[in-house]
Amino acid sequence: MKSTRLERTVKDPIIFATLTLLLAIFYQWPRRWLISGQPLLQFFILAGDVRDYRVLPSFHLWPLFTTLHLIYAICSTSWLLYYVFAAICYPACFLVCLFQFVAVGDFARKNSRRLLKQLHFIDDKIAFFDIPALEIDTEVDGLMVLRGITFSLSSLSFVVHGVEVGIKLSDDMELAIQSEMVKVKLFRGVEIGDCFANLKGGQYEMTFGQLEGSTKDADGDAVFAEGTALLKAASREGDTRSSSSVEVEKVKMMDQMTDGSPPEDVVAKEGLKGMKKLSPDNEEANGRYQKMVKVIEETNCIYEVRQYVKKITKKVPGEERGFDSTDDNAVRAAICSQLHSKPSVPHPPQRSIKVTTLQNLAPPYIRGFMHRLPMLLRLLLNPLNYFHPVKISSITATASGRWIDSMLVEKVFLDYADQDHEIANLKKRISSWLSYANFAVGLSGITGIASVPFIPTYDIRCQLVFDDVMSYRALPAQLDLKQVIRLGGADATFIVPSFLLPHHEHLLPPVPSKDHKSDLEKQVDEADGKPKIIQAEHELKQAKKDETNVKLSVHARLPACFDQELLDFIAALVKATKVVEMEKVKEREESDMEEQEVNGIVRFGKKVKGGLKDGVKRTVVGGVVNDRWIAKMVGKVTRKLETARGEVGYSGELPVPLGAYRTEGWVEREGEKLLP
């Protein structure tokens, strides 16, 4: 009993505060300790402990205080460490009060709501809505929209509600990406839900197809810009419904359901002690927050299409659907196929902020200082990548068969279909399989891990693992789809040189000199064997272009299954390319013959010879390059792949020009690196 009373006396915050003030009055050394903020932090922790609700409850009180005293003793030996310790202590005091005392939390939330109209404070959460879009104006043009963000202080995580990205890759190609939710757990990982991507081609599919050239305006220094070309294009196509247009409803707080765990009977005093009072401000704020989150969820294109697919695929007596509605992979492919006709950015905000504006926010001297300390960047990226592995539920990507067919006409068939009956028939067969369909690739169970080395001698490694890989041919009009490819999984590895990081141009390989190029040319001449010659020629080509390589390695895990319709399509496409190639050779030969000045008898003989040669070629192509025969032979191989085990892979290199990296540096102006 005496020990319990003594412990309560020692842990009493009032006694601690009184003794601290008395010591500060009569002695000099406690005053510096008091100014550092540690006694104040200790007082608030003791006050929370008395109320049986304090921070870090898993840590015992005395080891916690001992650690604080030890840290202060070390920091007090240096004036710099002392001020750093104080700068940490006072914000920590505020956070402790915010966590432990309801009155402080209510006061902070109430005043923050008045000051920041775009923020919503609910319990331990801070919510952001009506966020300006991020306008991409660097190498490509695009728009990125985050419809809402919720940050939780207690779990140190934030959730992004509704992600919409539209990127104009070229004048005839655009990429649209959408996801309902992204959750980032600080120092634990990143979790992304179902992600849907659509590759759109041609002006008839693209949201930003009418944009000409750069979308940068004259007011490039403005932090928030309205009415930019990208915003106007997205607004014309998109749905303007947003959370800001919804009236706020006062949703009353309801008692939380027990979920099968009934509460224990307690006496009235203990029951009243455990009650948590909720102010009207909190009640209204929670109702507003829940309403906005619900609006974002229900107006999301993915949600709307999912509801449509569920409604259509409900079992009707006597009616069979083209896919199993209980198969999540098939449902995702159907959803992505329906999303293809939707705008790339369905819910554009009224304002946007440019990427270049964000890059120029820091003063030049700050950017120069950071540029001279590239080691700090690696020191930051190393733990960030280590503690944040990325897990994605699924990625489903779709491209329209109509666009693929137009690309084949432009690149393969050209005008030969109008001149040759056989090519016209092949084109008709291929177009009938492509034109009215969308093709979706589904990847599920994705894990991504990246490692940025602290020592720049090592390369950056990025690894992706896919548990399941499949492809579908979908008919959006009939909401019908069929699986054409199924693999047992896949993985990919990217190896990126460290000198491609920002502010690392001092590590770039030197610009190839004339002597170096001459040595490479000699290596080509002296190479022994065709493989060595090809390698030497590739090195010489890259030296002339001043390029480096990002190494890529992709492996597909067997077994693999292929649909017979896909094999027939591939066979028809192979035959078509061979016939078109033969027509091109024939045209070249005829043009050469017309240029030659020969007598009529010789010319007649060559024409006869050319006609016989052409007939022989057609016979060979028709017999050997027979699409049915090809499909049959490929079918035998694929049937073996359906029971095979192992991996089939490809390793290659992606060239990266170094000219842009050499011109971005400030080496001449800023001098040498301090911490390379």
The confidence score (pLDDT) of residue 626 equals: 59
* CA–CA dist 116, 103 (Å, integer): 20
The confidence score (pLDDT) of residue 389 equals: 95
Most confident segment among 220-224, 273-277, 321-325, 360-364: 360-364
Share of the chain above pLDDT 90, in %: 25
The confidence score (pLDDT) of residue 123 equals: 67
Q: What is the mean pLDDT of residues 162-175?
A: 89
For 33, what's the count of Cα atoms within 13 Å in the CB-facing half-sphere?
Answer: 18
Nearest Cα to 423, choosing from 435, 412, 437?
412
Q: What is the mean pLDDT of residues 232-237?
A: 77
Q: What is the mean pLDDT of residues 563-573?
A: 84
CB 623 within 8 A of CB 542: no
Q: Give the pLDDT confidence of 487-523 residue by residue, as tens digits.
A: 999 999 999 999 999 888 888 998 989 898 899 999 9
Confidence label for 393 from pLDDT (cuts 50, 70 and 90): very high
Q: Give the pLDDT confidence of 34-63 residue by residue, as tens digits.
A: 888 888 998 888 888 888 777 877 778 888
Q: Which run of H or E residues covers position 514?
A: helix 514-526
Does residue 602 register a pLDDT over 70? no
Residue 453 is given by DSSP the state -
The confidence score (pLDDT) of residue 305 equals: 93
The confidence score (pLDDT) of residue 540 equals: 92
The confidence score (pLDDT) of residue 554 equals: 94
Token pair belonging to 284: 């209204």
Most confident segment among 7-21, 187-201, 203-217: 187-201
Q: What are phi and psi for residue 242, nearest 5 degrees?
A: -150, 170
* CA–CA dist 22, 30 (Å, integer): 9
Residue 508 is given by DSSP the state S
The confidence score (pLDDT) of residue 117 equals: 52
Q: What is the mean pLDDT of residues 411-420?
A: 76
Q: Give the pLDDT confidence of 272-309 residue by residue, as tens digits.
A: 344 333 344 567 777 888 888 899 999 999 999 999 98
Q: What is the pTM of this model?
A: 0.74
Confidence label for 185 from pLDDT (cuts 50, 70 and 90): very high
Q: Give the pLDDT confidence of 360-382 residue by residue, as tens digits.
A: 777 777 777 778 888 888 988 99
Does residue 348 register a pLDDT over 50? yes
Higher pLDDT, 473 or 227: 473
Most confident segment among 227-231, 252-256, 283-287, 347-351: 347-351
Nearest Cα to 313, choosing from 479, 437, 438?
479
The confidence score (pLDDT) of residue 5 equals: 64
CB 452 within 8 A of CB 461: no
Share of the chain above pLDDT 70, in %: 78
Confidence label for 335 from pLDDT (cuts 50, 70 and 90): very high
- Give the 3-state secondary structure of residue 49: helix
The confidence score (pLDDT) of residue 384 equals: 92
